[in-house]
Homo-oligomer: A and B are copies of this chain.
Amino acid sequence: MAVHIVEGSFDPNRYQAEHEASLVAGSFGATANFIGTMRHINEGDEVTGMTLEHYPGMTEKELENIISDACEQWRLIDALIVHRVGPMTPGEPIVLTTVWSMHRKDAFEAVRFLMEALKSRAPFWKKETLANGRSRWVEKNTPGY
A15 CB to closest chain B CB (Å) equals 11
- Give the interface residue-count category, chain A: 35 or more
Decide: A40 near B17, CB < 8 A? Known: A108-B34, A142-B104, A142-B105.
Answer: no
Interface of A is mostly: mixed
Determine if A105 and B40 form an interchain contact, defined as CB atoms under 8 angstroms apart: no
Decide: A108 near B102, CB < 8 A? Known: A26-B90, A29-B37.
Answer: no
A40 to B26: give the CA distance in the assembly, Å.
Answer: 5
Q: Can you name 19 extra interface pairs (CB under 8 A) apart from A25-B40, A29-B39, A105-B143?
A: A13-B16, A13-B17, A26-B37, A26-B90, A29-B37, A30-B34, A30-B35, A30-B37, A32-B32, A32-B35, A32-B111, A39-B102, A104-B142, A105-B142, A105-B144, A105-B145, A108-B111, A108-B115, A108-B144
